[in-house]
Amino acid sequence: MAPVVIVLVSDGSRCLLARQAMFPKGMYSALSGFCDMGESVEEALLREVAEEVGLEVEDLQYSGSQHWPFPQSSFMLACHATVNPDKTQVNIDKAELEDARWFTYEEITEALQNMPRDPRREPPVFWVPPSYAIANQLIQEWANHQQLSRK
């Protein structure tokens, strides 16, 4: 089983989601990547964020874990990461990602409510992984935190 970090990056008011070319149309998710041999979860997370989107993580917080059988048996270690709100320019590694962009709380809450239900129908323009995926848990946690901070 291969260890994988999955991280939802935030600048405090927005979260960063990305998509790979192999994702279903319109789906964006948290960043993820395999841990290298001898690398800690924290080191892998910092490296993956820097490599995939060119951002420097200032703080990280562990959220949870999940076994994921695709594409091979992986053990997902989920975290939230914060970047400096003044340093949010994304530099996408096109070999890894098709797109990455910042999303607002309003966009995220709409995506969480408009999940594709019928595979025969056109999916929403923007949607997130289903509730059984740990990426969804990270996105939901971020949205809940944003909601509380707005009160």
117: domain CATH number? Answer: 3.90.79.10
Q: Is the pLDDT of residue 89 over 90?
A: yes
Q: What is the pLDDT of residues 92-137, one digit of tens each?
A: 999 999 999 999 999 999 999 987 777 788 878 899 999 999 999 9
List of E strands, the chain = 2-10, 14-19, 31-34, 57-68, 74-83, 99-104
- Residue 49: give the domain boundaries: 4-150
Q: What is the pLDDT of residue 79?
A: 98
Q: What is the pLDDT of residue 71?
A: 67
User: Would you say 33 and 44 are in contact if contact means Cβ atoms under 8 Å apart?
Assistant: yes
Q: What is the pLDDT of residues 128-151, one digit of tens each?
A: 999 999 999 999 999 999 999 987
What's the Cα-to-Cα distance from 114 to each of 17, 53, 83, 130, rounded to whole Å? 16, 26, 28, 11
Q: What is the pLDDT of residues 28-73, one digit of tens each?
A: 999 999 999 999 999 999 999 999 999 999 999 999 999 987 767 8
**Identity of residue 84:** N
Q: How many structural domains comprise the chain?
A: 1
